Amino acid sequence: MRKWFKRKNTNSISSQPLENDQDDSEWKVREPMQVAERVLALLAVIGKVHQGNDSKFMGWINQYSIKNYLSPLEYNFFQLDSPEQKTLVNFSWRAEALTSLLWGTRFIPEMPALNEGFNVYSLDSLADIINDPNEFKKNIKLRPDQELQEMEQSLFQEHWRVRDAQLFGKEMPSELDPSVVYERRYGLSWLVGHGDDWDNVPTDT
């Protein structure tokens, strides 16, 4: 299943992609500890999708106080004993936002292709994060600010191409999957400082 993403506060888009509306001087990349906690929160959310209330999984959540890192929407998700399928699907896509954060923290050398989902569990280093979250938080390092900003701008432009195809009935570029592009951009936009919090990251194009 794919999600259909509507743009906020506008009924049209220009015929040419625009620069992201936040001036370079306003960028403020998130602090490494914020990013580490967000990675752990997303791992918890994805775990909840696949493992439900498994006792071992919930033991990990409680042992490392992961619920302290959840956003309000994520916290509400964790209160559901039997989430609807649509809810599970929507939260499962957050794996792609997590992919962007793992790229931003150097756990993924190159940003994976944008036309298919990336299996974060294929990363050997993911086991190290899960097995010792405290060590992960202690040693996390981000890519240089400029590199993060350039990737966010690139994803912004690719998201514009997706929206252009969707709104004007054009063929979707084969190298782009709409949901993958949206989630990757969501993660990077949050990482470089857009939005007041995780649940409210602007994704206009």
Contact at 8 Å (CB) between 53 and 61?
A: no
Mean local confidence (pLDDT), 3-11? 31
pLDDT tens for 62-106 read: 999 999 999 999 999 999 999 999 999 999 999 999 999 999 999
Write down the pLDDT at residue 19.
Answer: 52
Confidence band for 205, pLDDT divided at 50, 70 and 90? confident
Between CA 92 and CA 47 the distance in angstroms is 9
Q: pLDDT exceeding 90 applies to what percent of the chain?
A: 86
pLDDT tens for 29-67 read: 999 999 999 999 999 999 999 999 999 999 999 999 999
Write down the pLDDT at residue 165.
Answer: 97
Q: Is the pLDDT of residue 25 over 80?
A: no
Q: Is the pLDDT of residue 1 over 90?
A: no
Write down the pLDDT at residue 142.
Answer: 98
Contact at 8 Å (CB) between 50 and 120?
A: no
| Contacts of 103 by beta carbon, 8 Å cutoff, 6+ apart | 110, 111, 112, 143, 151
Q: Domains of the chain: which residue ranges?
A: 24-200
Q: Is the pLDDT of residue 16 over 70?
A: no
Write down the pLDDT at residue 2.
Answer: 30
Write down the pLDDT at residue 12.
Answer: 37
